[in-house]
Amino acid sequence: MNHARMERNFSWGRPKQITRAGFTLIELLVVIAIIGVLVGLLLPAVQQAREAARRMQCANHLKQLGQALHNYHDIHGTFVFRKGGSGGGSDDESNRNRLSGFVPLLPYVDQGALWDRIQEGAPPTIARGGPRGWSGWSVWRKVIPTYLCPSDSYTQKVQANNYAFNIGDTISGTATSPSVRGMFAFQTCYRIDDVADGTSNTLAMSEHVRGNLAYTSPVSDFDRRLVLSMDQSGITSNPSSCLGGTPSAIKGRFGTVMTDGQSESVGFTTVFSPNEMGCAVGTNPNRDSSTNILPPSSYHPGGVNVLMVDGTVHFISDSVDTGDLTQAPVSSGKSPYGVWGALGSKDGVEPIQDRPF
């Protein structure tokens, strides 16, 4: 009897099986692979969402600048100049007629206290209204959030700008001419009444990436959105002569001295399409070239945000029509540079039937 009970209670000769909870190595590797695929799918979506938010913020900044321009116009009867100010005296006794239009806009972008401080100057050494814009005056060296686009990760934000004034389909005299086809010139302040093509058909501002690249030769790796190909003497008769190939020397000076009104610092032209490499005549390593092609640029995929004179903001594609780039620029009449050139000119009397937005 005792032996029978033992047989019923025990399975002789069979080892007891132990059950363990957990993954096998193969199962773990499969899970890791699935997680990797999901992360690979998710990260681009997250990055795209973040860039969409940054692009929207850039567009909002342009809308604020549009409102600032119109508020300025309501009070003064004109828009700001691109470059102007006071002349004479030493470099600190005037701003050498090179003050940027971003300075008089300060009170209209919630920077009234900074504007007042600039108007005080520091007599007798620093002129009222400020010294030359490229000086190291501490009052210049401020961060103006409305002037910056968060998509641009360039480290310098002090005295910086990501937005540019429309000079138009002009190539010669972009820095020094008081009369340009666009909305912003040297010492000249245009009015809404000067916009014969219509405020909804004429550009006021656009974006541009920031950087501070001195004259570099020979050229190695570079970002085409930032730089100008230098010593391009043929662009005044045939802009396309600058396109293609690797330049022998480059520079990139945009957006690091927003108080200086030189065209290379705060302007753009509507000859080459957005995000194309620009061009400059001569080998001046500073931001002082006056014969140049200055396309707008951004880190948004496929194009740039632009502000129209009527205050609306649109997105312009890199593939916008630029017409015939073998033609020399004109001083009046229809732009040879397609829809893009027509949007840049305020009084070319061009009917824009197929606007790119």
Ranking 26-35, 101-110, 143-152 by mean pLDDT, the lowest is 26-35
**In-domain check, residue 34:** no
* 19 against 280, higher pLDDT: 280
Would the CA dihedral through 318, 324, 327, 333 be positive or negative? negative
Band the pLDDT of 94: cuts 50, 70, 90.
Answer: confident
Q: In the predicted model, what is the mean pLDDT of residues 93-121?
A: 95
Q: In the predicted model, what is the mean pLDDT of residues 124-145?
A: 93
**In-domain check, residue 14:** no
Distance CA 200, CA 56 (A): 20
Gyration radius of the chain's alpha carbons: 29
Whether 7 has a pLDDT exceeding 80, the answer reads no
pLDDT of residue 22: 62
**In-domain check, residue 23:** no
Tell me the three state secondary structure of residue 127: coil
**In-domain check, residue 28:** no
Whether 163 has a pLDDT exceeding 70, the answer reads yes
Band the pLDDT of 74: cuts 50, 70, 90.
Answer: very high
Pairing of strands 313-317, 228-229: unpaired
Residue 257: other Cβ atoms inside 10 A: 24
Question: How wide is the angle at C-alpha 14 spanned by C-alphas 13 and 18, nearest 5°?
Answer: 145
Domain of residue 53: give its range.
44-354
Band the pLDDT of 36: cuts 50, 70, 90.
Answer: confident
157 within 8 A of 143, measured Cβ to Cβ? yes
pLDDT of residue 353: 75
* 41 against 216, higher pLDDT: 216
Length of the chain: 357
238 within 8 A of 230, measured Cβ to Cβ? no
Q: Alpha helix locations (H) across the chain?
A: 2-9, 25-76, 112-120, 263-266, 338-344
Q: In the predicted model, what is the mean pLDDT of residues 291-314?
A: 97
pLDDT of residue 20: 55
Number of domains present in the structure of the chain: 1
Q: In the predicted model, what is the mean pLDDT of residues 256-275?
A: 98
Distance CA 284, CA 62 (A): 31
Pairing of strands 203-207, 303-308: antiparallel
Whether 6 has a pLDDT exceeding 60, the answer reads no
291 within 8 A of 174, measured Cβ to Cβ? yes
**In-domain check, residue 240:** yes
Question: How wide is the angle at C-alpha 210 spanned by C-alphas 161 and 311, nearest 5°?
Answer: 45
66 within 8 A of 108, measured Cβ to Cβ? no
pLDDT of residue 47: 64
**In-domain check, residue 2:** no
pLDDT of residue 17: 55
Q: DSSP secondary-structure letter at 139?
A: T
Would the CA dihedral through 190, 77, 305, 262 be positive or negative? positive
**In-domain check, residue 233:** yes
**In-domain check, residue 295:** yes
What would the pLDDT profile of 212-232 be if each residue is shown by its tens digit? 988 888 788 889 999 999 999
pLDDT of residue 43: 65
What would the pLDDT profile of 170-197 be if each residue is shown by its tens digit? 999 999 999 999 999 999 999 999 999 9
Tell me the three state secondary structure of residue 2: helix
Q: Which run of H or of E encompasses 133?
A: none
Tokens 């502000």 sit at which residue?
307
